[in-house]
Structure 1
Amino acid sequence: MVAAAESGHDGAIAQPHSADEGGPIIAAEAAAAAARTAENPLGRPGRRFDRRSPFMIGMAGAAGVAVTYGAIQTVLAAGEVLVLITIALFLAIGLEPAVSWLVRPWFPRWAAVTAVFVVAIGLLAGFFAAAIPPLITQGTALAHDAPGYLHHLAQRYPVIGTMDTRFHLQDRLRHGLGTDPSTLAGGVLGAGKLVFSIISGTVIVAVLTGYFMANFAQLRAATYRLFPRSRRPRAILIGDEIFVKVGGYILGNLLISAITAALTFVWLLIFDVPYALLLAVLVAALDLIPVVGSTVAGIIVALVALTVSLPVTIATIVFFVVLRLVEDYVLVPRIIGRAVQVPAIVTVVSVLLGAALLGIVGALLAIPVAAALLLIIRETMLPSLDAR
C-alpha cells in the first residue's frame, strides 16, 4: 500500500490503493502531494491555454452554439419553474431592505431573516385564513348570480340589452363561468387544478424566498466574483443600486396595492355594493400591474356597482379616477420615491413585452427590470459611446 500523505492520494477514494495502478499515476500523485501547500491546498493554477490556437477557437465556437441551444431548450422545458424562481428571487430582493434594516451587532442576520420571513408568512397566512371563506362564498355567489345580474342590467339599460341580443352575452357568461350544465364538470375539474396549482406554486415560492433571503449575502458575493477584479468595485456600486431600486419598488408596490384595496373595500361597503371583499382583493391584485391594472379594476368594479344604481356607478368611476391620481402623485412619490422612475414610453413598452413573454408575472416585473436595464445602460454603455 502507498501512503496517502506521500502519494497525494485521498484516503477516502479508490481504496485499497497500491503501486499496481500504474507508474505514471503514482508519479503524478507524488507530484500532487508536493504541490499541496497551506495557501493552495489543491495546488496552484496551471498555465492558461492558448486561446488563439485554432483548436481553442473552434472549441469555443462549438461550445457557444451548444450552450446557447441548451439554454434555450432548458428555458422552454423549465419555463414554469423558472418563473417561480424569478418570483422568489424578486421577493427576496424586495424583503432585503427590511432584513438589512433589522441587522444590528446584537441582532445577527439569521435572526433578521427569520423575523422578516415569519412576519411575512404570518401576515399572508392570517389574511388567507380570514379572507378565503368569504372570498369563496362571494366568488361562488358571483359566478351563480352573474347571468341574472346581466339579465337584470339588459332589462334596465337598453344599451346592454342590445349588446346582449347581438353578442349573446348571457350565454357566453354562463359558458365562461361554468354554470352551463354541459360544462359544469369540466369547470369543477379545471377549478380544482387551478387551486392545486396556486397552492403548490405559493408553497414553492415561499420556500425558495426563504432560501434566497437566508443566503442573499453569499449569492451577492458570488455574483460579484463573476466580474474581473479590475471591474468588481464598479459592478458592486451598480449592482447594489439595482438591488435597492428593485427592493424599494417591490415593497412599495405591495404597500400601495394594500392601501388601494382597503380604500376600495371601505367605499364599496359605504354604498352597499355587493361582493365588496372579493372586489377589493381583485383591485389589490390588478393594481400591482402597471399602467393598465388599476384601469381594468375600476371598470370591473364600476360594472358591479351598476347593479346598485347609475349614480353609484358614476360615483365609483369618479372614486377610481381620484384614487389613481392620489396613487400616482401622492402614494408613489412618498412610498416608492423617484429613484425607480421610468419614462412613460419605456413603461408601456416594457409592460407589453413582459406580459407577452411571461404573462402577468412579466407585467409585474417589467418596471423594476426596465429600471435596472436603464441604470446599466446609463452607467456603462452611454459613457463608452460618448467617449468615442
Structure 2
Amino acid sequence: MHGPNGAHRAGHAVGEAESVAADQEQPLGTPGKPLDRRSPFFTGLAAAAGVVVTVAVVEVVLAASDVLLLIGIAFFIAVGLEPVTARLTRRMPRALAAALVVTTGLGVLAATVAGAAVPLSEQIKQLSGGTPRYLAQVRDPGTLLGRANEVFGLEAAVRSIHGADVAQSVAGVLGDAVIVVVLSTYFVAGFPRIRTALYRLAPRSRRPRVILIGDAVFHKVGAYLVGNVVVSLIAGALTLLWLWAYGVPYPLVLALLVAVLDLVPVAGSLVAGIGTTLVALTVSVPTGLATAGFFVGYRVLEDYVLLPKIVGRAVRIPAVVTVVAVLLGFTLLGVVGAFVAVPVAAAVLLVVREVAVHRLDRA
C-alpha cells in the first residue's frame, strides 16, 4: 500500500496536470508528439500480434479447407465459362447470359446421363453377374489376371472397398457438386465485378500491367478447362468405338471411366488405359495387347495433335513441369489438385517470367 507521502505526490501530479489542462485553448488540448513506434515495446507488440494473426489465419484455413476447395473449384469453372458468357452478354443482360450458360451445361449433362442410364445400368448388372468368373481368373496363377493379382494385390484391393463407404462417398460428391454448381452460377453472373475488385487491390501505378497479366492468366485457365473437357469427350468416344469393335465387355462403362479419368493429366489416362486393358485381356491376349497399343497411340495423338489444336499453345508447358505440377497437386489436393495443376503451373510460369525474371534481367 502507498504511504501518505506517496498519496500526496500522486495527488500533486494529477492536480498539476489538471491546471495545465484548464489553461489549454483547444477544448481537448493540443495533441502531443506521436509515440515512437520503433521502440522495443512496440516492435515486440507488433511481432507478437503478427504471430497471433498468422496462427489464427492458418487455423481458419485448415478448418475451412473443404469449403475453400469447393469455392476454388467453382471459381475455376467460372473462369472457364467466362469467354462464352462474355459473348452472350453482348446480346443479352449478364444475369440472363450466365443463367443460359449454366442451364445449357446442366441440360447437356442431364441428357447425356439420361441417354446412357439404361445401357449403363445393364452393363453394370452384367459386370456384377460376371464377378465370379473374374474372381476365378484372378485367383488362378496360370492366367494373366492371376499373375497381376500376385504382383499388385488386386483381390485385396477390391475386398477393401465397402458398399456403405462407397454410398457415403457418392452422397458426399453429389452434395459437393450441388454447392459447386450454385457457387459457379453466382461467380459467372458476377465475374466482371469480381475481376474489378481483384484488380483494385493492386497499386494504381502498377494496375495496367496487373490487368494484362491477370487477363492472360484467366485466358490460360479458361482455355485449358474448355479444351480439356472436349479432349476427354473425344477420348471417351474413341474408346467406346474401339471396345465395341473388338467385343470388349462393358464398353460404355469403360468409356465413361476413360473420359472422366482423362481429365486428370498424365496419370488419369495411364490408369484408365491399364484398367481397360485388363478387362480386354479377359477376351483374349491379342485383344488386350491391341487395346494397350490403342491407348499408347491415343496418348500420342492427344499430346501432339488434339491438345495443341483444341487447347492451344498458350497453356502448353514443359513436360517435366507438367509431371511435377501434377504430382504436387495430387499430393496437396488429391484428384482436384491434379486436375488444376497444369493451368496453375502455366499461370505461375507466366507470372515468374513477366515479373521475377523481368526484374532480375534489369538488376
Q: TM-score range by the shorter chain?
A: 0.7 to 0.9
In 2, the alpha carbon distance for the partners of 1:86 and 1:57 equals 36
Correspondence for 1:384: 359
Cα RMSD after superposing both structures: 2.5
The answer to whether structure 1 residue 232 and structure 2 residue 216 are counterparts is no
Secondary structure of the corresponding residue to residue 226 of structure 1: coil
The answer to whether structure 1 residue 318 and structure 2 residue 301 are counterparts is no
Q: Which moved more, 1:250-259 or 1:67-76?
A: 67-76
TM-score when normalising by structure 1: 0.78
- How do 1:148-297 and structure 2 match up within 5 A? 148-152=133-137, 155=140, 157-162=142-147, 164=149, 169-170=154-155, 172=156, 175-177=159-161, 187-297=162-272
Show CA shifts across 1:201-229 (max 9, x none): 11001000001101101100000011111
Show CA shifts across 1:231-263 (max 9, x none): 111110100010001000011001100111011
Correspondence for 1:99: 85
2:228–2:311 Cα contact (<8 Å) kept: yes
1:51–1:57 Cα contact (<8 Å) kept: no
2:75–2:184 Cα contact (<8 Å) kept: yes
The answer to whether structure 1 residue 88 and structure 2 residue 74 are counterparts is yes
2:326–2:337 Cα contact (<8 Å) kept: yes
Correspondence for 1:122: 107
User: Match of 1:192, as an amino acid?
Assistant: A
The answer to whether structure 1 residue 76 and structure 2 residue 62 are counterparts is yes
Query: Relative to 1, partners in 2 of residues 1:96 and 1:138: Cα closer, same or farther, differing over 3 Å?
Result: same
**Structure 1 regions of 5+ residues with no counterpart?**
1-26, 29-48, 178-186
In 2, the alpha carbon distance for the partners of 1:351 and 1:166 equals 26
Query: Relative to 1, partners in 2 of residues 1:309 and 1:158: Cα closer, same or farther, differing over 3 Å?
Result: closer
In 1, the alpha carbon distance for the partners of 2:343 and 2:57 equals 24
Q: Aligned-pair distance for 1:188?
A: 2.9
1:147–1:173 Cα contact (<8 Å) kept: no
In 1, the alpha carbon distance for the partners of 2:171 and 2:36 equals 52
Correspondence for 2:328: 353
In 2, the alpha carbon distance for the partners of 1:242 and 1:174 equals 42
User: Match of 1:244, as an amino acid?
Assistant: H
Query: Relative to 1, partners in 2 of residues 1:119 and 1:147: Cα closer, same or farther, differing over 3 Å?
Result: same
**Structure 2 regions of 5+ residues with no counterpart?**
1-26, 29-33
In 2, the alpha carbon distance for the partners of 1:51 and 1:99 equals 54
Q: Aligned-pair distance for 1:71?
A: 2.1
In 1, the alpha carbon distance for the partners of 2:45 and 2:360 equals 32
The answer to whether structure 1 residue 131 and structure 2 residue 116 are counterparts is yes
Correspondence for 2:16: none
Query: Relative to 1, partners in 2 of residues 1:51 and 1:249: Cα closer, same or farther, differing over 3 Å?
Result: farther
In 2, the alpha carbon distance for the partners of 1:65 and 1:58 equals 11
1:138–1:275 Cα contact (<8 Å) kept: yes
Q: Which moved more, 1:144-153 or 1:246-255?
A: 144-153
Q: Aligned-pair distance for 1:336?
A: 0.4
- How do 1:20-39 and structure 2 match up within 5 A? none
The answer to whether structure 1 residue 329 and structure 2 residue 315 are counterparts is no
Larger Rg: 2
Matched length: 331
Correspondence for 2:98: 113
Query: Relative to 1, partners in 2 of residues 1:339 and 1:293: Cα closer, same or farther, differing over 3 Å?
Result: same
Correspondence for 2:3: none
Correspondence for 1:36: none
1:147–1:174 Cα contact (<8 Å) kept: no
Secondary structure of the corresponding residue to residue 297 of structure 1: helix
Q: Aligned-pair distance for 1:77?
A: 1.1
In 2, the alpha carbon distance for the partners of 1:298 and 1:75 equals 37
Secondary structure of the corresponding residue to residue 339 of structure 1: helix
